[in-house]
Structure 1
Amino acid sequence: MTLAIMQPYFLPYIGYMQLMGAVDTFVLYDDVSFINRGWINRNKLLINGQEHLFTIPLKDASQNKRINEVQLADDPKWRSKLLKTIEQGYRKAPQYAAVMPLTEKIVNFTTGSIAELIYHSLVELNGYLGLTPTLVASSSVYENTQLKAQERILDICKQEGATRYINPIGGMELYNRERFAEAGITLNFIQSKRVEYAQFNRGDSSTFIPWLSILDALMFNDVPATKELLTQYELV
């Protein structure tokens, strides 16, 4: 069984979805410290031909809180504002009619928790794309927060019966292949290839804006084409 562990990101970039599509079980690491100005509640869209950063407002977010303890701000307008921004940016995109209802279902999900909102959003994205990993919130299962770093990752792998663990390429210096091998687990790192597709009339690769939210890829690609983009990686 192949497993990955990642902090929950809202409408994440395509590399995150590639990792999710590469595993049998995907653990949302939601009982670790919240990261200010990270990707948990922020991401990028293509608005008027430019990269646009959006942020979901939170209530008293702090690195002294765990992600699953952070609540959405008491702002009833943020959902409609975000949907309006997406509509303005993508209403002329070829897959807008198919993707906007999915987007509305994700953004309008009723919860006060950023972790629950993201969990729901990933369930919806997986359903739309036909991806089938089991999603697990780390806060709900493992009871091992006393462990740190690599040892906690290994413990989760052992509890899940994983034989392979895949991590983003940026973590190569954090994990030791020999330590994983001692536990009977193969350690791999996922390296995304450069993914490109037509953004409106941008046929020139020199003008392509990469690594936006998965929403951007979905707006310009149907499901089969998006699933093909999700295979554009290598394991090292």
Structure 2
Amino acid sequence: MDLAIMQPYIFPYIGYYQLIYAVDKFILYDDVTFIKGGWINRNNILINGTASLFTVPLTGASSNREIGAIEINEKMYPIWKKKFLKSLSQNYSSAPFYDDVFPLIEEVLNVSSCSISTLAGRSLLAVCEHLKINTEFVNSSSVYGNHHLSGKDRVIDICKKEDAEHYINPIGGKELYDKSDFEGEGLHLSFIQTGEISYTQSKGDFVPYLSIIDVLMFNSKTETLKLMQNYQLV
């Protein structure tokens, strides 16, 4: 079985979904510490031809707290959601697949209170269902009971408990993990490297590394899956 582990991100860029696509089981690492300034609660969409950051408002966001313990800000969230959906409507209403994708985003965001982990997980699962990607999702907090471990030791422990033979990590992990450490535990380690992603947006030059929202707005399901397959394992 092929397995990956990542912190839950809200509507991340296509490379994150490539990692989901590449594995049989995807572990949402919701019981590790929150990363301030990371991509857990934010990403970029296209506004007037440039990348524009959106950020889900949170309560008590701290690098000393676990992701699953951090809630969306109940007071600010409805205001943010209304503005965000309006921005999507204003900037993507002429995109070819707006009518399919906008309701999906509305449904994901249709919550009044929850953790950012839950909201991000909803965004991941909804896109996978939209594209008929059948990867199984598991929340790390609900299963493994291995808080006493960290780093590669915790990753290896999860792989063993899931009877995985192959662990796939984002390419940035080459600085963190050594293949020999995994081989010594009977595991094969690969890193996923995204190929060149390009597609027709609105006007102007292509703007890369945007949220999956942008990909879905401008590409059919078939075209999106073709882009998603543009990676290699190294």
Q: Is the 8 A contact 2:49 2:203 kept in 1?
A: no
For 1:40-70, what per-residue CA distance to the aligned partner results, in whole angstroms no more than 9, with x for missing partners?
Answer: 0000000111110010000011011000000
Aligned to 1:194: 196
Shift of 1:110: 4.3
| Alignment check: 8 A CA contact 1:83 1:107 kept | no
Query: What's 2:211 paired with?
Result: 213
Distance in 2 between the 1:111 and 1:15 partners? 28
Number of aligned residue pairs:
232
Distance in 2 (alpha carbons) for counterparts of 1:49 and 1:108: 28
Could you tell me how far apart the structure 1 residues matched to 2:112 and 2:100 are? 22
1:226 pairs with 2:224? yes
After superposition, the C-alpha distances for 1:184-227 in whole angstroms (9 at most, x for unaligned) are: 1110000001100000244xxxx211010000000000000000
Counterpart mapping for 1:95-114 below 5 A: 95-114=97-116
Q: Tell me the equivalent position of 1:18.
A: 18
Matched AA of 2:162: E
Match of 2:62 in 1: 62
CA contact (8 A) 2:34 2:65 kept: yes
Structure 1 residues 81-96: aligned runs within 5 Å: 81-96=83-98
- Give the structure-2-normalised TM-score: 0.97
Normalised TM-score (structure 1) = 0.96
* Contact 1:12–1:43 (8 Å) recurs in 2: yes
Q: Please name the residue that 1:159 is paired with.
A: 161
What is the aligned counterpart of 1:137 among 136, 139, 142? 139
Name the amino acid aligned to 1:127: E
Q: Give the SS at the match of 1:172.
A: helix
Q: Structure 2: which 5+ residue stretches go unaligned? A: none
Which amino acid in the other structure matches residue 168 of structure 1? P
Which residue type is aligned with residue 62 of structure 2?
S
Q: 1:106-147, CA deviations, whole angstroms, 9 ceiling, x for partnerless residues?
A: 111343211111112211111001101110111111110110
Paired-residue identity, %? 49
Counterpart CA distance in 1 for 2:111 and 2:233 is 34
The letter for the 2-side match of 1:162 is: A
Distance 1:195 1:119, change over 3 A: same
Which runs of 5 or more residues in structure 1 are unaligned?
Answer: none
Q: Distance in 2 between matches of 1:145 and 1:112?
A: 23
After alignment, is 155-164 or 108-117 more displaced? 108-117
* Local SS of the residue matching 1:188: strand
Partner of 2:180: 178
Question: 2:101 is paired with a residue of what secondary structure?
Answer: helix
Deviates more, 1:152-161 or 1:77-86: 77-86
